[in-house]
Amino acid sequence: MNKAVIFALTLISTPLFAIDLSENQIDNAKVSANGKHVTLLGNGVEVGQKAPNFKVVDDSFVPVTLDSFSGKAVLISVVPSLDTGICSLQTKHFNEKVAGEYKDVVMLTISADLPFAQKRFCQAQNIDKVQTLSDSVWHDFGKNYGLYIKDMGLLSRAVFILNKEHQIVYKQLVEDLATEPNYDNVITNLKAL
């Protein structure tokens, strides 16, 4: 049996564990779902700081880190789950309307979905310019960027732009999980790179 399949089945069959993290003090009480504030866990980040490294997996369970994109500008679109309407729209928007215009910028979508679900979504929706990465294994991205939603196991919706030195030059934390990011602000900041 394929090692990736065995690894994934182990993850799915292993009881879920609680992540013991402190609250994100930078973005505390800034995000809501269904009219109620959610608690974000992990280390919040701010514009101007060096982007923290992270470890996620691609659709074949191969580890990917921010260092994998050394010397390249990076746009990170963060979504709770690709299989939901707004997350799907956000990912399609960056794939269809942004990635082609900014070929020198690595376009990533990170969610807590399992890699199998991400791969299925990308094939069904013809996502071919944005690379989807999963934070489901180590929750490292959520911890390092302060986006892990307490008691939900999902990531909060956000967009980051990193310059070639991986300094955070733009951060958009979407205040309501049920709304899309402000794409115009993202484009303005991409043009400024």
Which active-site residues does the annotation give? 87
Burial class (CB in 10 A: 0-12, 13-18, 19+), 17: exposed
SS3 label, residue 148: strand
Residue 51, classed as helix, strand or coil, is coil
Interatomic CA distance for residues 139 and 41, integer angstroms: 11
Q: Exposure of 90 by Cβ count < 10 A (0-12 exposed, 13-18 middle, 19+ buried)?
A: buried
41 strand-pairing partners: 23, 148
Helix-strand-coil percent breakdown of the chain, rounded to 5?
A: 30, 25, 45
Q: Which residues partner with 135 through β-bridges? A: none
d(CA 120, CA 173): 27
